[in-house]
């Protein structure tokens, strides 16, 4: 299938970007991974690309501090974003990367879809709502990915799913289909690969 073929190609780190002027030429489609610090963005990119440490992940919120570009074959970029919300880094530094994050999410012409990651234990928080509102105004289609589903029991997960669905219904730019993932167990990874392949 197309998802498997796309991700069978090599994944290459292109660059870390710290200002809009540093973005690579907008010459191909890209998808980005946004979400609160520590939600599992970098880990999800590693799971998708079948690598262990292509994107740097850690248990410290605020690990990713630049916009990291990965080429997935010749036609697609995967974009790992810094987290929003609490980060274990000095405030002026955090403010700088939050500003860049917002500029990127509302001003990148080749951004085809933003995946907004939501922790399966926590659901949609106020900071997520703010990012979703930003994506609405920028008319960037976004799709929610529940992460760390291995950490919750089915009943708790279903409760969170209801909360997420309710939150999404208020956002015109939200694509209604949710993707449930566990980077730890590999759940939902093939599904997400196929969705991304469908966008290229």
Contacting positions for ligand GTP (CB under 6 A): 35, 37-43, 57-59, 61-64, 82-83, 147-148, 150-151, 182-184
Q: Evaluate whether 89 touches 62 at the Cβ level (below 8 Å).
A: yes
| Position with the least CB separation from ligand GTP | 83
Q: Rank residues 107 and 186 by Cβ distance to ligand GTP and give the closer one.
A: 186
Member of 36, 63, 108, 113 binding Mg ion (CB under 5 A): 63
Q: Rank residues 63 and 108 by Cβ distance to Mg ion and give the closer one.
A: 63
Q: Rank residues 3 and 62 by Cβ distance to ligand GTP and give the closer one.
A: 62
> Does 42 interact with Mg ion (rule: CB under 5 A)?
yes
Minimum distance, C-beta of residue 93 to ligand GTP, in the bound complex (Å): 13
Q: Rank residues 98 and 200 by Cβ distance to ligand GTP and give the closer one.
A: 98
Strand blocks (E) in 73-196: 76-80, 111-119, 142-147, 174-180
Could you give the 3-state DSSP secondary structure of residue 68? strand
Q: Which of 126, 116, 119, 17 is nearest to 61 (CA)?
A: 119
> Does 181 interact with Mg ion (rule: CB under 5 A)?
no
- Binding partner of residue 147 among ligand GTP, Mg ion, none, CB cut-off 5 to 8 Å per kind: ligand GTP
The DSSP bridge partners found for residue 182 are 187
Q: Which of 158, 128, 134, 120 is nearest to 44 (CA)?
A: 120
Strands 76-80 and 29-35: parallel
Q: Rank residues 151 and 170 by Cβ distance to ligand GTP and give the closer one.
A: 151
Count of residues interacting with Mg ion (CB under 5 A): 4
Q: Which residue has the tokens 């939050």?
A: 98
Minimum distance, C-beta of residue 47 to Mg ion, in the bound complex (Å): 13
- Binding partner of residue 11 among Mg ion, ligand GTP, none, CB cut-off 5 to 8 Å per kind: none
Question: In sequence order, what DSSP letters do the residues of 119-182 get, joined into one string?
Answer: ETTT---HHHHHHHHHHHHHT--EEEEEE-GGGS-HHHHHHHHHHHHHHHTT-TTEEEEEEE-B
The residue ranges that bind Mg ion (CB under 5 A) are 41-42, 63-64
């Amino acid at each position: 299938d197309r998802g498997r073929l796309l991700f069978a190609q090599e994944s290459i780190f292109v660059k870390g970007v710290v200002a809009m002027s540093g973005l690579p030429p907008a010459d191909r489609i890209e998808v980005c991974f946004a979400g609160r610090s520590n939600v599992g963005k970098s880990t999800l990119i590693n799971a998708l690309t079948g690598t262990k440490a292509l994107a740097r992940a850690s248990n410290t919120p605020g690990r990713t501090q630049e916009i990291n570009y990965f080429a997935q074959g010749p036609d697609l970029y995967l974009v790992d974003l810094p987290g929003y919300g609490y980060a274990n880094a000095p405030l002026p530094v955090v403010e700088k990367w939050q500003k860049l994050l917002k500029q990127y999410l509302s001003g990148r012409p080749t951004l085809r879809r933003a995946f907004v990651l939501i922790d399966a234990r926590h659901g949609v928080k106020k900071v997520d709502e703010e990012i979703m509102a930003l994506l609405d105004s920028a008319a960037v289609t976004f799709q929610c990915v529940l992460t760390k589903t291995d950490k919750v029991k089915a009943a708790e997960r279903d409760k969170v799913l209801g909360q997420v669905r309710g939150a999404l219904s208020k956002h015109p730019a939200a694509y209604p289909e949710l993707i449930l993932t566990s980077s730890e167990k590999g759940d939902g990874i093939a599904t997400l690969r196929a969705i991304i392949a469908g966008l290229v």
